[in-house]
Amino acid sequence: MGGPLEGILVVALEQAVAAPFCSSRLADAGARVIKIERDEGDFARGYDHVAHGESAYFVWVNRGKESLCLNIKDEGDRELFLGIIARADVFIQNLAPGATARLGLASDYLRSTNERLITLDISGYGESGPYRHMKAYDLLVQCESGLASITGSPESPGRVGVSICDIACGMYAHAAILQALFERQSTGKGQGLSVSLFDSIADWLAVPLMHQEYTGKAPGRVGLNHPSISPYGAYRCGEGADVVISIQNNREWQNFCATVLERADMVDAPKFAQNTDRCSNRKELDGLIHECFLSLSREELVQRLNDANIAYASLNGVAELLQHAQLRKITVASPTGPVDCVAPPVIAFGKTFSPGAVPAVGEHSESIRDEFS
């Protein structure tokens, strides 16, 4: 495919989402990614069958890779694996805690066989600490980290609707590998890296953590509102549609009062003059906003918001996203036919992105065995 990582060989002993997300983005950039699978394949292949038989999860994070089926416990397959590692630039693994060490293939050992090798171990809770041996999946980490406690309605906690801990971890892993590759240009040597789902999402929870540490209280669950900014949330207009608005500063608050609510008297009212005041009196303020919005059609409300230069959005569902004017898509080849997917977020101007195909289980086993034997 070409790309900035052309010539980089990545070996991925991976499953599920976090590691495959990372390696797929390396493949997007032109790296050659050899995905090591069991004969039955990565279990994420069976998460669902919505893309004419293919798993949506698997298609999303496994494009552009080669699939090699190996039994690492078999002496011949182990030697083949080590032969590939000897020529590899990057090794990524997210097996169960301690699995590679029990196989005699711990990352530090692999680096001893190839000084240019960059290894990255993905785990649930890290390499040390009392939780290091615990299995971890996305929802479990959402709960363990406290993310679920600040997500959802005031009545009950909720799950973020995508695998956010896996994605966060995969993104940090991707960035770490790119940094290590850059560093290797000057040192000539690889290095060992590790990243966990827990540490990744804990970093994303930095603001709630600071609230807890310095005020003794984390932000509460406020549903479709912002816990620290008001008004910032979903409000219903006269036609029953929900419109989400955001007021970020006092200048916007002044415009909102004068042009949208047509209540200039509210601008400097003691209960609402500053954002902290508006948050403290959120219930009363929301009542006044609802009263105004319910008297307007969506068209009238949007016109006022535009006139006041107030940020707003529609409360869409996934069906609306599928038809959204801003949604960019790509078509990815798969073993059962082409699948429409979301395009990569980063646009490289002057370059055309061509995604690699999603491999069938063991599709490249024979050719890889011939190449490295």
Which residues lie closer than 8 Å to 319 by C-beta, 6 or more apart?
Answer: none
**Which tokens go with 177?**
């590998």
Per residue in 285-314, pLDDT (tens digit) is 999 999 999 999 999 999 999 999 999 999
Phi, psi of 268 (to 5 degrees): -105, 15
Crossing angle for the helix pair 197-204 and 206-215, to the nearest 10 degrees:
70
Percent of the chain with pLDDT over 70: 99
What's the domain range around 277? 232-314
Q: Are 314 and 320 in contact (CB under 8 A)?
A: yes
Q: Is the domain of 167 the same as that of 280?
A: no
265 CB-contact burial (10 Å; exposed 0-12 / middle 13-18 / buried 19+): exposed
Per residue in 231-251, pLDDT (tens digit) is 999 999 998 899 999 999 999
Give the residue-averaged pLDDT of 19-43.
96
Confidence of residue 337 (pLDDT cuts 50, 70, 90): very high
Position 162 in a domain: yes
Q: Are 231 and 289 in contact (CB under 8 A)?
A: yes
Q: Is the domain of 190 the same as that of 280?
A: no
Side-chain-side CA neighbours of residue 327 (13 Å):
12
Q: Is the domain of 56 the same as that of 154?
A: yes
Q: Inform me whether the pLDDT recorded for 2 exceeds 80.
A: no
Give the residue-averaged pLDDT of 250-257.
96
Which residues lie closer than 8 Å to 370 by C-beta, 6 or more apart?
Answer: none
Position 1 in a domain: no
Q: Is the domain of 164 the same as that of 17?
A: yes
Distance in angstroms (rounded) separating the CA atoms of residues 57 and 48? 8
Q: Inform me whether the pLDDT recorded for 1 exceeds 80.
A: no
Exposure letters 21-55 (e unless 16+ CB within 10 A, then b): bbbbbbbbbbbbbbbbbeeebbebbeeeeebeebb
Position 304 in a domain: yes
Q: What angle do CA 351, 354, 356 make, to 5 degrees?
A: 145
Domain boundary residue among 286, 314, 342? Answer: 314
Which of 211, 226, 290, 324 is the catalytic position?
226
Per residue in 86-128, pLDDT (tens digit) is 999 999 999 988 899 999 999 999 999 999 999 999 999 998 9
Position 321 in a domain: no
Q: 243: closest CA among 306, 187, 168?
A: 306
Strands 311-314 and 242-246: antiparallel
pLDDT at residue 234, rounded to an integer: 95
Could you tell me the CATH number of the domain that includes residue 115? 3.40.50.10540
Per residue in 168-222, pLDDT (tens digit) is 999 999 999 999 999 999 999 999 999 999 999 999 999 999 999 999 999 889 8
Q: Is the domain of 62 the same as that of 129?
A: yes
Higher pLDDT, 351 or 67: 67
**Which tokens go with 145?**
């980290």
Q: Are 85 and 113 in contact (CB under 8 A)?
A: yes
Distance in angstroms (rounded) separating the CA atoms of residues 125 and 137? 10
Q: Is the domain of 164 the same as that of 85?
A: yes
The answer to whether residue 49 is catalytic is: no
Q: What is the DSSP string of 41-82?
A: --GGGGS--TBTTB-HHHHHH-TTEEEEE--TTSHHHHHHHH
Q: Is the domain of 331 the same as that of 310?
A: no
Q: Tell the residue number behind the tokens 């949506």, with chain if given.
A: 56
Backbone φ/ψ region at 63: left (φ over 0), alpha (ψ -120 to 50), beta:
beta
Distance in angstroms (rounded) separating the CA atoms of residues 22 and 200? 13
Could you tell me the CATH number of the domain that includes residue 239? 3.30.1540.10
Q: Are 205 and 197 in contact (CB under 8 A)?
A: no
Q: 61: closest CA among 173, 157, 159?
A: 173
Distance in angstroms (rounded) separating the CA atoms of residues 34 and 368? 9
Q: Tell the residue number behind the tokens 């032109």, with chain if given.
A: 30
Q: Is the domain of 310 the same as that of 333?
A: no
Q: Is the domain of 256 the same as that of 358?
A: no
pLDDT at residue 248, rounded to an integer: 95
Q: Is the domain of 86 the same as that of 158?
A: yes
Q: Residue 234 belongs to what H/E stretch? A: strand 232-236
pLDDT at residue 82, rounded to an integer: 97
- Count of domains forming the chain: 2
Position 240 in a domain: yes
pLDDT at residue 239, rounded to an integer: 85
Q: Is the domain of 98 the same as that of 158?
A: yes
Q: Are 28 and 59 in contact (CB under 8 A)?
A: no
Q: Is the domain of 254 the same as that of 341?
A: no
Quickly count: other Cβ atoms within 10 Å of residue 122's Cβ: 25
Position 215 in a domain: no
For the chain, give the mean pLDDT. Answer: 95
